[in-house]
Amino acid sequence: MAKMMKVAQVSRPGGPIELVERQVPQPGPGAVRVRVLACGICHSDALTKEGIWPGIQYPRVPGHEIAGIVDELGAGVSDWKKGQHVGVGWYGGHCGHCPSCRRGDFIDCLYLPIAGISFDGGYAEYMVAPADALARLPEGITVEDAAPLLCAGITTFNALRHSGAVPGDLVAIQGVGGLGHLGIQFANKFGYKVAAVSRGADNAALARKLGAHIYIDSKATNPADELKKLGGARVILATAPSGKAMTELFDGLGTNGKMVVVGASMDLIQVTPLQLIGGQKSLQGWASGTSADSEDTLNFALLSGVRPMIEKYPLERAPEAYDRMISGKAEYRVVLTMSAA
């Protein structure tokens, strides 16, 4: 008799998250079956839930913040062993032949497969992923903590380490939420002078606890002016998904400053050519990173003590957990835990 598993799937665009039973999948050539132990719920899962991403085939199991154990190897897989702790993030492998891949820019592969979008993701007791997508999990980080580090963690870590800022530079983190609370921690551990920017005074104590040296209340003050009083930011990491808030903060950059956008939003960031030319400022978007970048993120988090703040739910409560995430009230990442034997 075929072995069965529980999954939380979406059967149609805009449909509910449904808990169903399926056969445990078999890994094909070059793929690995992972027994999922934890899976973070990301706001980007709405791309699958609501059918926003083009070409999704339904039913589809969402989830791209996956931490688990190698359970079975497909033909031709030799670099992994059964029983290894691994993770899978947004990066689900690459085609190897598009212009980006030919230049080694794998995260910008034109045909990038994505867990939970291109193939079934981690809202399940088992999932299958291309071997290229796997990242090694270091001992010393729980699977529940590792899961969000494979998305929110790698995104903020990788953006900051490639931003051009050096220890001692003023770096502003816009937003103290799912991305921002990790961005503040990484920025502090990188040796930056960290200014956290958020609306209201409620987040001030948490921001300082996470490692911010300065807290700027964008509701009570003009945040760009406050940054200029400090000499201007070398980097602003924009994590809160609001084009309006990013627009208002842009003038807080110093000479040769850069705003790096990781908070995905559909509304416009409005910056004039003069704002860019004066002081040679720039605006850049940043995607997450490859499986190697995930390993760098996890290893640095282990060494430095960076950890996500999480709320845990069992897989059986996946619809409730998704609603908690989408409400914006979670503190600050929601993680599903599994009970597969």
239 and 325: one domain?
A: no
Over 50: is that where the pLDDT of 341 sits?
no
Let me know whether 54 and 107 are in one domain: yes
Distance CA 163, CA 253 (A): 13
In CATH, what number is assigned to the domain containing residue 319? Answer: 3.90.180.10
| Burial class of residue 305 (count of CB atoms within 10 Å of its CB; 0-12, 13-18, 19+) | exposed
Tokens (6 digits) for 19? 């808990």
Q: List, in sequence order, the alpha helices (H) in 87-129.
A: 99-102
pLDDT of residue 82: 97
Q: Are residues 82 and 178 located together in one domain of the fold?
A: no
Considering the domain architecture, whether residues 27 and 124 belong to the same structural domain is answered as: yes
> What average pLDDT does range 225-230 have in this prediction?
98
pLDDT at 164 over 90: yes
> Are residues 295 and 247 part of one domain?
no
pLDDT digits (tens, 9 = 90+) for 289-301: 999 999 999 999 9
In a domain, residue 265? The reply is yes
- Which pLDDT score, from 0 to 100, does residue 194 have? 98
Separation CA 289–CA 107 (nearest Å) = 6
Mean pLDDT of 57-76: 98
Question: Residue 128: inside a domain, yes or no?
Answer: yes
For residues 172 and 223, state if they share a domain: yes
Are 209 and 324 within one domain?
Answer: no
Residue at 204: amino acid letter: A
Look at the chain and report how many structural domains it folds into. 2
Q: Which tens digit of pLDDT belongs to each residue from 251-263?
A: 999 999 999 999 9
* Residue 16 sits in the same domain as residue 39: yes
Q: Is residue 298 part of a domain?
A: yes
CA angle (299 as vertex; 297, 301 as ends), nearest 5: 65
Q: Is the same domain home to 134 and 45?
A: yes
Indicate which CATH number applies to the domain containing 199.
Answer: 3.40.50.720
Alpha-carbon torsion, ordered 143, 65, 265, 174, to 10 deg: 20
Percent of the chain with pLDDT over 70: 99
Any domain includes 156: no
Taking CA 72 as the corner, what is the angle to CA 67 and CA 74, rounded to the nearest 5 degrees? 115
157 occurs within a structural domain: no
State which of 265, 285, 305 marks the end of a domain: 285
3-state secondary structure of 311: strand
Task: Note whether 289 and 91 are within 8 A (CB).
Answer: yes
Please check the confidence at residue 24 and state whether its pLDDT lies above 80. yes
Asked whether residue 340 carries a pLDDT value surpassing 70, the answer given is no
Helix (H, G, I), strand (E, B) or coil at 107: helix
The two three-digit tokens of residue 70, written as one number:
């190698």
Q: Considering the chain, what percentage of its residues have pLDDT values greater than 90?
A: 96
CA-to-CA distance for 256 and 235, rounded, in angstroms? 9
Is 158 a member of any domain? no
Q: Which domain holds residue 193?
A: 163-285
Matching residue, tokens 């999480």: 310
Calculate mean pLDDT across residues 297-318: 98
Report which of residues 130 and 328 the model is more confident about: 130
Q: Note whether residue 210 is domain-resident.
A: yes
pLDDT of residue 339: 72
Q: From CA 314, how far away is CA 148, in angstroms rounded?
A: 16
Residues 186 and 54 in one domain: no
Q: Is residue 191 part of a domain?
A: yes
Total number of residues shown for the chain: 341
Distance of CA 172 to the CA centre of its chain: 19
The domain boundary, picked from 248, 266, 285, lies at 285
Which two tokens mark 257? 């400053």
Q: Are residues 275 and 297 in the same domain?
A: no
Quick one: pLDDT band at residue 266, thresholds 50, 70, 90?
confident
**What is the mean predicted confidence (pLDDT) over 144-153?**
98
Structure tokens given for 105:
């820019």
For residue 284, the model assigns a pLDDT of 97
Let me know whether 244 and 230 are in one domain.
Answer: yes
